[in-house]
Chain A
């Protein structure tokens, strides 16, 4: 079972797993992502996300796992396991560590940003997310050498 597939074909939608404990923010991120032609699965906490990836401790039931996740976007501040701890678990997993993980937070705390990047986060973004943030992330998904049919340039903000 593989939760990872890198390198998209030109006409395939990237599959993004979005993790946030706020139902409001989940609704917004889902819309932002579908508006950027992504397929979206959401989870309301880190444990739920791990279960969807088949990585939860002692997981027996794999019937609800999702496959072919191309990117994970997670909120930093969540009750129970934080987004940082989720990031660590993903990067420790032999099957999932190649999935780019983006951490989002409402707080611009330098030490927080640094430790996420050190742990292997692809990016650290501030909330609230805008369409331009998501478009840029979308760019990351196709920059591994595969030509995109939209000819998008990745421009820094």
Chain B
């Protein structure tokens, strides 16, 4: 595949992530912060997000398995997850945190367990899509091309 084609594929793929609501304008903000002097900025930020998220999801899972569930602690983890997903523009993950926090406040364990399932689904989906996107970027760069600037209006 030649570079122009790869770049067009990248643009289409990126646009689809926005159209499907997986990403929001904050992700665009991050892309705009990437330049020649910070060429890996988005990948670095998203990697931090992945690390943070895996840990949070593990902590929440374990907390929900305890004989005596600490809803306050889980609520704090969910708050943090909402913050980090919001910071990278992972819109559906962020939105998944909102009902979760409500269930924590109500100390509703069933609700929390359902929300955790949902959250894991959304997180792994966006993680998968972003990893695919980054792989496309690597191919473009390896072929001597550059990553296009997106022109999306929000």
A91 to chain B, nearest CB (A): 26
Contacts of A112 in B (CB 8 A): none
The answer to whether A27 and B48 have CB atoms under 8 Å apart is yes
* Given A130-B29, A131-B33, A28-B45 contact (CB < 8 Å): yes
B63-96 interface bits toward A, Cβ cutoff 8 Å, 1 = contact, 0 = none = 0000000000000000110111011100000000
Contacts of A128 in B (CB 8 A): 26, 29, 86-87
Number of A-B contacts (CB under 8 A): 46
Count how many chain B residues have C-beta atoms less than 8 Å from C-beta atoms of the other chain: 20
* B38 within 8 A of partner (CB): yes
A128 to chain B, nearest CB (A): 5
The CA of A128 and the CA of B38, in the complex, are separated in Å by 20
* A77 within 8 A of partner (CB): yes
B residues 8-48 near A (Cβ < 8 Å) are 26, 29-30, 32-33, 38, 41, 44-45, 48
* Given A35-B33, A128-B26, A27-B84 contact (CB < 8 Å): no
The answer to whether B45 and A24 have CB atoms under 8 Å apart is yes
The CA of A23 and the CA of B79, in the complex, are separated in Å by 15
A25 to chain B: closest residue by CB: B87
